[in-house]
Structure 1
């Protein structure tokens, strides 16, 4: 059974993540928005800044109570011409919703490296989800995190195109977890868990 969670909320203006963003300050802003509005939107210009944005999300989670966790639905948009004259580039919008706890579903674990092909991984994620296997994706290092999110967006597009979920959308939770490397040494990895969440109101 797919891990499905539900919720409704009002529209909200996004926060911008750039190279000058202070994660420690941003985590407080994100946490306050999640606590007061049950939602928060981060706009990230350039895929290389996605790890920084997700770090703010994970840090903000430390302030949250009652077992709720932010669920993130990514969306690709183009930066408005007036914001960056003469330079059109994609913007990754991260829609976060603070939703009630949901049943944990044991899925396949997929390790991601900096050399992983996002398109191949995205197709694999979509194929597993269609079979009812909601995978956990893990990677260490900024490049691996970037690849994981790129792959997730591809999987989201493929899954939504073929399934047509109406008001639901493929989303993920993200957390930092200690694991053991091949030599037995402890390492920190970022883990993404796939879930089905309400389609954010800004995406309707």
Structure 2
């Protein structure tokens, strides 16, 4: 049986706007309003899940969804860089940021490497999809990137080259080991099938 997993990126937040590593900030009012207006466009769902992040749980609530928070769907653990902007970290640790952005196995912040995140999301994808119907998960953009890397068997080096806009839908259909991918449809946008 074919499973369908819809990954929805969170609404805009001040942290996202400033390229700040997640600091627990809430989504912006405009992002919440956009999510509320897109709520009616969601397909029927068998299961709803969220990342534990505040902005993901708030986005789900704005969409009118009550989903279980799943630790495996947490965003990338950036250790001591949490709450700082990429610009701040780049000014203080330019070599570390350069390595981090080019080597998927590097974790100079003391947290999780991109490779580790991709492996975590791959394990979730192998076990999580509902056997019937759609699973919708509101997750951080880096979790969407990790799912794309895993589902297409891409090298981790492409991770940072995948853009995930706020309130976009990335759909996986198939099953673990054989996924088809539909990328970046705006939430509330047309669905072709």
TM-score (normalised: structure 1): 0.30
Which structure: greater helix fraction? 2
TM-score (normalised: structure 2): 0.31
Which structure: greater strand fraction? 1
Higher relative CO (CA 8 A, sep ≥ 6), structure 1 or 2?
Answer: 2
